Amino acid sequence: MGKKILAISASPRRHGNSDTLCDAFLRGAAEAGNRGEKIVLREQKIGFCTGCEFCMEHGRCVLHDDAPAVIEKMMEADVIVMATPVYFYCMCGQLKTLIDRCCPSYRKLGGKDYYLLMTAEETGADTFEETIACFRAFLRCLPDAHLAGVLKAGGVFHKGEIDGTGYPEQACELGKQV
């Protein structure tokens, strides 16, 4: 039996460009014999970390929202895929908010392969670098976490612009490599 994959789409738009990459990745992973699930952050209620440090003492967050259920699914997965549009050269706020809320569970999120799928309007060489650096910083906090793949989809801004590019096929191929 294949690996259990959790894809987290941070696209604020239904069927947005990064959401499309998530679906293509999962399609490729399924073709390779894996099973996957997608969580769409725009459909979740996840509040900002308040820095109260309650989680450090109690191992859980004081906030009562959807974050614990999402993080539980992350802990259960073998592979985690995070897809985000790049805004102002960084991951979107929805994804960063979830990452910040992973603090009480970071030890349990290690030992996994992680993939980062990104879309951006710009195509310059440095367009994605800050997002990758931020994602790597997150993974550094997780014991034995491994950045297994990155997809940089530049030149796509408006919803649906990714269709007709080779990026969905690249995401599908990345999914087949899991």
User: Cα–Cα distance between 81 and 107 in angstroms, integer?
Assistant: 18
Q: What is the per-residue pLDDT for 59?
A: 82
CB 105, CB 75: distance < 8 Å:
yes
Q: What is the per-residue pLDDT for 170?
A: 98
The count of domains in the chain is: 1
Examine the pLDDT at 55 and tell me if it is beyond 80: yes
Could you list the residue range(s) of the whole structural domain that residue 133 is in?
A: 4-176
pLDDT digits (tens, 9 = 90+) for 147-161: 999 999 999 999 999
Q: What is the H or E stretch that residue 146 is in?
A: strand 146-154
Where helices occur in the chain by DSSP H, the ranges are 17-31, 54-58, 67-76, 93-101, 129-140, 167-176
Please report which confidence band the pLDDT of residue 116 belongs to, taking 50, 70 and 90 as the band edges: very high
Q: Measuring CA to CA, which residue among 11, 34, 14, 12 is closest to residue 148?
A: 34
Give this prediction's pTM. 0.96
Q: What is the mean pLDDT of residues 83-108?
A: 94
What CATH number did the domain enclosing 15 receive? 3.40.50.360
Q: What is the per-residue pLDDT for 71?
A: 96
Q: Measuring CA to CA, which residue among 48, 107, 50 is closest to residue 74?
A: 107
